[in-house]
Amino acid sequence: MQLVFASNNKNKITEIQSILPETIKILSLEDIGCYEEIPETADTIEGNAILKANYVSEKYGFDCFADDTGLEVDALNGAPGVYSARYAGEQRDADDNMNKLLAALKDSSNRKAQFKTVIALNLKGKQELFTGIVRGEITLEKFGNKGFGYDPIFQPEEYQETFAQLPLEIKNKIGHRGKATQLLIAFLKAIE
């Protein structure tokens, strides 16, 4: 089976392809000739995943899936949430985003947070949603150099390391994107 993954984020593509069975090959937006920035104007994580999947299906005619992820911090009433990638501005710089978040939490003892990924699958004219959540907390400083985004400051429950310190295999097993992708895989296997 071949599906378009509505992303040009090489880190995400590598992470998801490493989870998928060999029977499922993913194509990036670049692979199908989509170079434009897909609008992410919804006010929820689910809404943005749906927007991206629908964009590819409607404009390019491919079965596809899209994801959107947000970091939801308890002490910030769920922020940055849907604005996680642009938390510190439109330049979408991970260091700027982490620095802003660490500054916002500097006087907070409540550092609980969760990563949430929603995958929207458009397949044969139907849409399915799959959600993965991992709880944890925001560290006081950055640790590790693996991963991307907020990984250096997110420590999942029951672990002493941040996502940026953990091997990809463990992150994929316990992480938000991995959990959502496992639900996607189970669904695809059930209909094969």
Active site residues: 68
Q: Among residues 10, 31, 16, which one has the least CA distance to residue 181?
A: 16
Q: Among residues 70, 68, 60, which one has the least CA distance to residue 30?
A: 60
Residues near 100 by beta carbon (within 8 Å), at least 6 away in sequence: 87, 88
Q: Among residues 22, 13, 133, 14, which one has the least CA distance to residue 65?
A: 13
Beta bridge partners of 81: 71
- Phi and psi angles of residue 98, each rounded to the nearest 5 degrees, phi first: -65, -45
Q: Among residues 1, 32, 19, 192, which one has the least CA distance to residue 119?
A: 19
